[in-house]
Structure 1
Amino acid sequence: MTVAVCAAVILAMIAASFIANRRLPPADRLPMQWGVSGRPTWSAPRLAALSFMPALAVVTIAVIYVASGGALPGGAVVIVAFLAAHLLHLWMIGRQLGQA
């Protein structure tokens, strides 16, 4: 059950990235991190910026799955945290580019 939830959430993250890619204004690079002033401190190529969190979620869940012997203790909590962080990141990118 938890594996199915994790897979569904990862697919939702990927879908959110595809939607964001179509809706965000054209830009070769997208912000990845913001400083305390609210200004981006570094950016990444568009594809990397939109795929980083889903890829990190897949790797993290896979490591937890393998390390726990085929179980996902707390996997649902971890994956929902990744989803929340990804959606926040996409929202912040849109806000920065003037497309909230």
Structure 2
Amino acid sequence: MIYVALVLSILAMAAIATWAHRNISPETSRLPMQWSASGTVNWRAPRLVAIAATPVLMLALMVLIFILSRNDLAERNMALLWLAFLGPPLQAVHMALVARTVENED
């Protein structure tokens, strides 16, 4: 069951990334990655890096948790389940912030 949740989570993040790549300012080569407390953009990353950062980070964390917690299956499964549920919403929020920032700059 946990593996189904992980696969669905990765697929959802891939779908969000695909949508973002096609719809969020396709002509822009660099997208915002971090904002200050006042809402200004601190730095930008190349388009592919900005869109793929969250799915790649979540996948790396899933692999790391899977490898490092082989002795305690309940702990591993709970950590993986949390990542599976948190990954897609976090990416959706990041892409929404990117879209809003790029739209307001035009």
Partner in structure 2 of residue 44 of structure 1: 45
SS of equivalent residue, structure 1 residue 33: strand
Q: Distance in 2 between matches of 1:48 and 1:97?
A: 16
How many angstroms does 1:73 deviate by?
A: 2.6
The alignment-based identity, stated in percent, is 28
Q: Distance in 1 between matches of 2:80 and 2:86?
A: 10
Partner in structure 2 of residue 72 of structure 1: 77
Identify the range of structure 1 (70-79 vs 27-36) with the bigger mean alpha-carbon deviation: 70-79
Structure 2: gaps of 5 or more residues: none
Letter of the 1:8 partner, please give it.
L
Q: What is the TM-score of this pair, normalised by structure 2?
A: 0.86
The alignment status of 1:62 with 2:63, answered yes or no, reads yes
Q: What is the TM-score of this pair, normalised by structure 1?
A: 0.91
Structure 1: gaps of 5 or more residues: none
Matched residue pairs, number? 99
RMSD: 1.5
Tell me which of 85, 88, 100 is aligned to 1:83: 88
Letter of the 1:24 partner, please give it.
I
4+ residue runs over 6 A deviation: none
